[in-house]
Structure 1
């Protein structure tokens, strides 16, 4: 078996695009390349000037794409089976890693099956749940069926949490394994707190800054953020609400309250400073498979309040390093936010414990975990194709 794998990664999104999937894939790919593996990256062309990158242990194959409705500047990949068959016959991968489940991912699985290359697929996004928030709830059953059928054509489906893995298994997904998410604690940490940045927001050190960081879109349940903040502001009139990110709901939010602070999209050190310079992070989304922002907020030393699902379910010990409330209990979410705002001592305790609670989740460990699963998938496929070798090996 090869110790260094050639991995074909198929994804709709890739850096410098700002979203959890692109960030996660970039980190994991960097980690695997550091371990000596090489990649062929297959992704849709995002704009006319988009050209394949040339990096160590990574080459790109760009395919045709179409704009994704509601996601400005992001394209999904069109089917490209013939293109992939030619590329993979010329430079055959050991394993195909399908990160997104659109037409491109489906055609990649079809090509891999024709070439007899093992496939690992990833479950990153609750597309079936998203359909409810975009007026397409009637599609939920069809989307659910499509996702299950697609993932069950792969040897392994990767889930980001044990809770998601249990849900997928109960829904009929086969061979589900968990690969969690990591965080760069050198980037996201409380030392990034900036008094100059807070001064730009026109807040003092004593004022409470409540924040939501992420995509400003319907599926993120943002009305609950503004409702919880309204309850806080009734008791603390000088509290401020900070939105970091962009999306289709931004114009509505801007019109709804002139006092809200909108920082837009932020990256790198700038993003880390925005996290650490706030105080209380509200995350009421119920559509996440993980929610990288929860992990980044904890690493940044924020008081985090979220529903008890996705990353929060596995990372937050309620009342110890953050707060969680049962999903869809809006009143409980608002009450918990108000309690944290009214009790500075409790908020301080949670913030002091938050960073230490996720310090072990470094990307190097997560990348090694994924590498082990890919190696095991290649070995299993090899033995299935050559049972005579398995028999001779067992005799030896």
Structure 2
């Protein structure tokens, strides 16, 4: 910064990984010497490049250290071990406590070796990124005062526009379908919302910003999802240039942390849209013990309390967040809903042409938390009274092989694309949903729109949609679900048609324009 280029002997001692960084530093020094009047402009151009280089080195070294771990250690890095050892004070104390360090659940990760490899690039990243963060924080510290002044003067008002951050837009699951439907509605109605994702192949489009990742991480033992890390300075520039004045975030991972960074840097209100109940997810998929469950709850509580408001999709989840366990102010909890694509409503017109049958359907992710391992027992009970019943399984997931082994007489269709799902619903007579995990249940609404009644557990999400016996059914357990299915398969065609019409009417209570208008109102737009 003082215009002094690194000495030759220092340059020769720089490792290959830092050669591009050294070149940028030399360019900065040269600019200070030869073009002092333009030095500030040069810094604006070179500092982002310097940040990218040192951050890339940091993530490369971090990845190298993780992948260098023994295979047995990588296998033990799962949800439970991460939750057990996430809290830093406990973890760092364990480094100096031999008895704790020998605990069989501890990993073989060499903390000091890892720190030795990443300390310098991490420090350089923090210095450069921190300077940018501090600059924005100072510049926008009086945002509220300036906004009020602009309103009084009726001049110079800041644009009212939302940046919606998510990690899940390009995934093949229910959350990504909801986000894509939301974007389509935003585009069709030119709403003041833009989405921001980080992805290597997704194409940008109207109201959708796509940043290329600096680095990606994928640890198979933890999740099927790949984590993409964006350039934070690029995110910050996009937010400032775009004139955004509030944030919605709908994933807790990378974008969740970035949303909180932007909140602090630009002094803007930030809201979280809760697609997933992670407390319930880990309870059912990771078999957490009581201590780990409590630690997860406290981590989630700390994270969510950083936001100015939470959007929730069912009444049970809202009550839990407002309870003493999570202690989130009830006035900052906003109820919202999903809606479905018009193709399902249009397909429902053909429902009357199908003669009554005994075809059952499960559609969704084939995983433990979705309750799919209840299906073998349910289907076996149904076949004792209806041996000609057929069960179609549409989807893929980590429990597929186990399900096929336990229930070989079902018909497995694999992943069914959205444009073919409506016709699949028309082939079925009942949809089975043995999940106790869904926060909403788009599959419930999709099926009902086509006139396909649903049998779901009486839990959050589905129970807010289903009116038992009027448009579909709820059951308390697997035995009751099988009993309801057996009874329905005995129904006369006219009784079935009455329930099917009730299912189709329920869909009309979930309209995109009403849902989005309420959401915008809740965030002050």
2:394 touches 2:413 (CA, 8 Å); kept in 1? Answer: yes
SS at match of 2:509: coil
Match of 2:514 among 365, 386, 391: 365
SS at match of 1:158: strand
Q: CA deviation at 1:125?
A: 0.6
Cα gap change, 1:236 to 1:359, in 2 (>3 Å): same
Indicate the residue corresponding to 1:76 in structure 2.
227
Superposed counterparts of 1:371-390, under 5 Å: 371-376=520-525
Aligned: 1:134 with 2:285:
yes
Distance 1:68 1:365 in 2: 40
Give the TM-score taking structure 2 as reference length: 0.63
Indicate the residue corresponding to 2:468 in structure 1.
318
1:125 touches 1:288 (CA, 8 Å); kept in 2? Answer: yes
SS at match of 1:133: helix
Indicate the residue corresponding to 1:387 in structure 2.
none
Q: Gaps (5+ residues) in structure 2?
A: 1-150, 152-156
Q: CA deviation at 1:73?
A: 5.8
Aligned: 1:88 with 2:239:
yes
Superposed counterparts of 1:28-39, under 5 Å: 28-39=182-193
Superposed counterparts of 1:186-335, under 5 Å: 186-188=343-345, 189-191=347-349, 205=355, 207-326=357-476, 329-335=477-483
Indicate the residue corresponding to 1:164 in structure 2.
317
Indicate the residue corresponding to 1:26 in structure 2.
180
Indicate the residue corresponding to 1:9 in structure 2.
164
Cα gap change, 1:352 to 1:52, in 2 (>3 Å): closer
Indicate the residue corresponding to 1:389 in structure 2.
none
Match of 1:65 among 216, 223, 234: 216
Match of 1:179 among 324, 332, 336: 336
Pick the structure with more strand per residue: 1
Indicate the residue corresponding to 2:25 in structure 1.
none
Alpha-carbon deviations, 1:72-104, whole Å to 9, x = none?
A: 763234486444333323333121111011133
Q: CA deviation at 1:44?
A: 3.5
Distance 2:193 2:447 in 1: 31
Aligned: 1:342 with 2:495:
no
Q: CA deviation at 1:314?
A: 1.6
Distance 1:147 1:324 in 2: 29
Alpha-carbon deviations, 1:25-50, whole Å to 9, x = none?
A: 222232233332354433232xxxx3
Cα gap change, 1:140 to 1:92, in 2 (>3 Å): farther
Q: CA deviation at 1:168?
A: 1.4
Aligned: 1:150 with 2:303:
yes
Distance 2:221 2:397 in 1: 8
Q: CA deviation at 1:134?
A: 3.2
1:4 touches 1:36 (CA, 8 Å); kept in 2? Answer: no
Q: CA deviation at 1:233?
A: 1.1
Pick the structure with more helix per residue: 2
Q: CA deviation at 1:347?
A: 3.9
Q: CA deviation at 1:208?
A: 0.7
Distance 1:85 1:373 in 2: 25
SS at match of 2:456: strand
Distance 1:57 1:78 in 2: 21
Distance 1:181 1:135 in 2: 27
1:9 touches 1:40 (CA, 8 Å); kept in 2? Answer: yes
1:306 touches 1:324 (CA, 8 Å); kept in 2? Answer: yes
Q: CA RMSD in A?
A: 2.7
SS at match of 2:226: strand
Q: CA deviation at 1:121?
A: 0.6
Distance 2:352 2:416 in 1: 15
SS at match of 1:117: coil
2:392 touches 2:412 (CA, 8 Å); kept in 1? Answer: yes
Aligned: 1:44 with 2:183:
no
Alpha-carbon deviations, 1:153-198, whole Å to 9, x = none?
A: 1111000123322221113123110111112244344235699xxx
Higher-Rg structure is 2
Higher relative contact order (CA 8 A, sep 6+): 1
